[in-house]
Structures are given as structure tokens and as C-alpha cells.
Amino acid sequence: MSQEVTEFEATAADSGGRATERYFENHATSLDTPKERVSQLATEVLTAVHDVIRRHRVTYDEYQAVKGWLIQVGADGEWPLFMDVWVEHVVEEVATDHREGSKGSIEGPYYVPGAPQLPAQCTLPMRADEPGTPLLFAGQVTDVAGQALAGATIELWHADDYGFYSQYAPGLPEWNLRGTIITDEEGFFAINTIQPAPYQIPTDGSCGKLIEAAGWHAWRPAHLHLKVSAPGYELLTAQLYFQGDAHLDDDIATAVKPELVLAPRPKADGTGNEVTYNFALDPARA
């Protein structure tokens, strides 16, 4: 008889491979960028690398070690993880610096479009014995003037109590802790889920090797991922964190903003925690 594979058997190469596959499913890999812009950006990136080599007198041994490491990042499927942990936060900063509504944050490598649609008051898909503290996450979606947005879409996804994401670790139900929630006539939502746990990016792959070699740590604070949208408004991609988390100030992915920290309180009936958070969407730009 074959043994059931569980989430605890997750490997960096496994989740990396899935993230790499998913990347190619969801993204166009060609963009009609003018030659002048490609040349300028590529030249400046390469020049920055050359400058580091000169400034620090990088040796042939170091050059070959880096080359091997880069090859292995690809072999592990960890380019999505590498890019989203160490680069995406600056792209997000530039892309959203005009906004007046809610702050956003990076998408990260574990988003999956098309999660089951749920009404404004709902429970995220989860196992019957899903471990973790229950969390009631409620609020309202409005525009920047405070006008309620009925029928807005909230895509919510997060890791389980052990830090694993469905579809990226084995053994989890396909849509575990992932849902697409539609706000009610007054823009409200109230979602039952569990509070995710602090999370370490995979330590047994190439990104983990870099972290270990540099003496860094692999932690992200516990977080909820969201995409909030409504026709005529800018898509808000965000993460929400939890007050008191040990890694709010040293997130390996540099994706925490003070406006994104939740302070849940115990529910009066003793069945877990609850918290309110409201989203204000910026109008789409012409």
C-alpha cells in the first residue's frame, strides 16, 4: 500500500517547481518593450554588477560559485521565490506610489487565480480538523471617498498553521485556505478562517543556501494575502500581518507596512479571534 504524502514532506524543489509552472500558466513571457528601454535597463543592471566586482575584487572562485548557485536556483524552480522575496517589494513600491487608498504589498509566489467563489459571509475552504486559532476577518470595501462598493471581489489566500500553502505543498486539499469572496450590497464581508502562523521560506533549496551562507534568517511574519478589486478601480494586492509578530521588523521579503498590521481580539463567545479591516480602492487610471 502506498503511503499518503503529507504537507510535512514538502521540499523546496517541489514548491519551487510548482511555482515555476504556475508562473508560466499565468503570465505572458513576452512584452513589447522598446529596444532603447531594454538596452538601458540591461546595461545599468550589468554595470551595477561590474561595479560590485571591482569594488570588492570578486575572485574567480567566487564568480564560479555564484554561477553554480544561479544555475541551481533555476534547477530548483526557485526563481519565482527569489524574485518575489528580494525584488518584488520595490516594483510594488514604484507601481503604487500614486495611490490614495489602502496600502498594498507584494503578491509573492503562491497566488492561484480561480479559487472557489463565496458569499460575503462565509468560511474559507478548510479541512474538518484544520489546526490553528479561528479568525473572523470582517470589514468593508469602499472607494477613496468612503462610498461602499457592493459586489467587490476579495481573493484571500494564506498558509496553514504549519506555514504551508495549498497547491504548493503535497497532501493539502486543492483550495485549502483559498477563496474568492464577493462583498454584499453595502460592501461588507465577514470571513471565517484560521490565523496563519509565522512562515519560513523553504530552507532546503537555493534561496535557503543563500540565506544560510549570508547568515540571514528565512522568516516572514504570519500573513494573509489579498487581492481586492471592483470594476473601474485599481486592483489592490495586499498582505495583512498580526500585531506582536516577532518578524514585523525583519521580514525576509521586506513587505510589511505599518498600515497593514492587524490587532485581532478574542471573540466574546470564546471561539477564537476577530478583527475588522476596511479597504479603500483607488479609481482606475485612464
Phi-psi region of 132 (alpha: psi -120 to 50; beta: other; left: phi over 0): left
By CB under 6 A, tell whether 85 contacts ligand MBD.
yes
Site for ligand MBD in 237-256 (CB under 6 A): 253, 255
Part of the chain binding ligand MBD (CB under 6 A), chosen from 29-37, 63-71, 79-87, 230-238: 79-87
By CB under 5 A, tell whether 80 contacts Fe ion.
no
If DSSP states are collapsed to H, E and C, what string results for 21-33? Answer: HHHHHHCCCCCCC
CA distance 198 to 137: 18
By CB under 6 A, tell whether 281 contacts ligand MBD.
no
By CB under 6 A, tell whether 82 contacts ligand MBD.
no
Nearer to ligand MBD, 225 or 230 (CB): 225
* Residue found by looking up cell 513589447 in the block: 32
Give the nearest residue (CB) to ligand MBD: 108
* Residue found by looking up cell 526563481 in the block: 79
Site for ligand MBD in 6-35 (CB under 6 A): none
DSSP 215: T
Number of residues that bind ligand MBD (CB under 6 A): 12
By CB under 6 A, tell whether 110 contacts ligand MBD.
yes
Minimum Å distance from CB 73 to Fe ion?
19
Minimum Å distance from CB 110 to Fe ion?
6
Nearest Cα neighbor of 264 from 200, 192, 159, 179 is: 192
Q: Which of 16, 77, 101, 108 binds ligand MBD (CB under 6 A)?
A: 108
Helices (H), the chain: 12-26, 35-56, 60-75, 79-86, 88-95, 206-214
Nearer to ligand MBD, 88 or 274 (CB): 88
Neighbours of 154 (CB within 10 A): 23
Nearest Cα neighbor of 117 from 156, 167, 64, 150 is: 156
Minimum Å distance from CB 52 to Fe ion?
30
CA distance 13 to 112: 18
Minimum Å distance from CB 25 to ligand MBD?
18
> Which stretches of the chain bind ligand MBD, using CB under 6 A?
81, 84-85, 106, 108-110, 199, 201, 220, 253, 255
